[in-house]
């Protein structure tokens, strides 16, 4: 009886987790206007809620790039869990180093919003500790699988994700969706990957697909453009060639996949 009473008191005394402040996360001053303008294509709240984001979690974003999702996740997790940004390594080549540098400048320019962001380095095969082993409730990756294929780092990256997650933890993936049967070589060139291929690659690394969503689907996207996914907004790689056509299509058709660590 005393043991039960002690456990009850301990649970009562645990600090309550704050409710998410979605207003600040989506509309606060830390968000660039051009990033807010893409919410209708990227659906950040719906996507994160589909992945099961909750107060008090430890969350890792792999390859955060310029920080589009950092602008949303950092204020959500501040004083309310932990957010790790697994960016490029310091010696990951000129592109990775430049990207990391710009990201660090972004963090330094707004210390109020980003003071609790923990930046780690992902540089396979040398640097794979994206967060303490077995600490993460949720790891997320947005439109990166094709890049890992192109750089031949997919296996190491998925291994890093698996190591960081708790048993049963969630790996949430958004990726440009290619046509069924699309070869991996074409995927590397075009940025699109067939959904069943993404599932196969990730499940072979120790994960199990548990749910899918069409939150980020775009049926207007035929996924067969001259310059691949970069033909479409926001890149518009063909500049003014058929610009109105591609603007009308909008951003790429994307799969949204939820995996569990096995």
Nearest alpha-carbon partner for 169 in 202, 140, 212, 128: 140
pLDDT digits (tens, 9 = 90+) for 28-39: 999 999 999 999
User: Contact, 63 vs 54, CB < 8 A?
Assistant: no
**What residue ranges define each of the domains in the chain, with the CATH number in brackets?**
20-219+253-261 (3.40.50.150)
Kindly tell me if the per-residue pLDDT of 16 is higher than 80.
no
Residue 104, pLDDT score: 97
Residue 7, pLDDT score: 40
Of 5-14, 26-35, 217-226, 229-238, give the lowest mean pLDDT range.
Answer: 5-14
Residue 173, pLDDT score: 99
Q: How far apart are CA 44 and CA 40, in angstroms?
A: 9
Residue 19, pLDDT score: 86
pLDDT band for position 17 (cuts 50, 70, 90):
low
Length reported for the chain: 262
Question: How far from the centroid of its chain's Cα atoms is residue 18's Cα?
Answer: 23
Q: How far apart are CA 168 and CA 257, in angstroms?
A: 15
For every residue of 191-229, DSSP letters joined together read S-EEHHHHHHHHHTTTEEEEEEE-TT--TT--S--TTGG
DSSP-assigned beta bridge partners for residue 212: 257
pLDDT digits (tens, 9 = 90+) for 46-58: 999 999 999 999 9
Residue 85, pLDDT score: 98
Kindly tell me if the per-residue pLDDT of 1 is higher than 60.
no
pLDDT digits (tens, 9 = 90+) for 104-155: 999 999 999 999 999 999 999 999 999 999 999 999 999 999 999 999 999 9
168: left (phi over 0), alpha (psi -120 to 50) or beta: left
pLDDT band for position 8 (cuts 50, 70, 90):
very low
Ranges of beta strands (E only) in 108-186 are: 117-122, 136-142, 165-178
What number is the average pLDDT over the span 180-208?
97
- Main-chain dihedrals φ then ψ at residue 260, nearest 5 degrees: -120, 140
Q: How far apart are CA 107 and CA 95, in angstroms?
A: 19
Output the average pLDDT for the chain. Answer: 94
Q: How far apart are CA 179 and CA 159, in angstroms?
A: 27
Residue with tokens 């909008």: 250
**If DSSP codes are grouped into helix, strand and coil, which group holds residue 16?**
coil
Q: Which residues, in sequence order, are CB contacts of 191 under 8 Å at separation 6+?
A: 143, 146, 176, 228, 229, 230, 252
Residue 262, pLDDT score: 97
DSSP-assigned beta bridge partners for residue 127: 123
DSSP 102: H
- Main-chain dihedrals φ then ψ at residue 116, nearest 5 degrees: -105, 5
């Amino acid at each position: 009886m005393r043991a039960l009473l002690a456990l009850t008191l301990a649970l009562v005394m645990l600090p309550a987790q704050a409710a998410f402040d979605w207003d600040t996360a989506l509309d606060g001053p830390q968000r660039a206007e051009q990033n807010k303008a893409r919410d209708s294509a990227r659906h950040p709240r719906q996507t994160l809620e589909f992945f099961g984001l909750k107060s008090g979690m430890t969350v890792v974003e792999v390859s955060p790039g310029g920080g589009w999702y950092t602008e949303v996740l950092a204020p959500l997790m501040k004083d309310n869990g932990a957010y790790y940004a697994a960016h490029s390594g310091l010696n990951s080549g000129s592109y990775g180093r430049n990207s990391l540098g710009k990201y660090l400048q972004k963090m330094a320019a707004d210390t109020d919003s980003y003071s609790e962001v923990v930046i780690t380095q992902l540089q396979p095969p040398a640097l794979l500790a994206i967060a303490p082993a077995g600490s993460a409730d949720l790891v997320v990756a947005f439109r990166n699988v094709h890049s890992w294929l192109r750089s031949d780092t997919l296996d190491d990256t998925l291994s890093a994700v698996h190591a960081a997650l708790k048993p049963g933890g969630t790996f949430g993936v958004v990726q440009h969706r290619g046509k069924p049967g699309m070869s991996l070589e074409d995927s590397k060139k075009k940025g699109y990957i067939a959904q069943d291929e993404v599932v196969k690659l990730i499940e072979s690394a120790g994960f199990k697909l548990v749910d899918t969503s069409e939150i980020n689907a775009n049926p207007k996207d035929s996924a067969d453009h001259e310059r691949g996914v970069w033909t479409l907004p926001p890149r518009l790689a063909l500049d003014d060639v058929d610009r109105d056509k591609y603007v009308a299509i909008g951003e790429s058709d994307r799969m949204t996949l939820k995996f569990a660590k096995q």
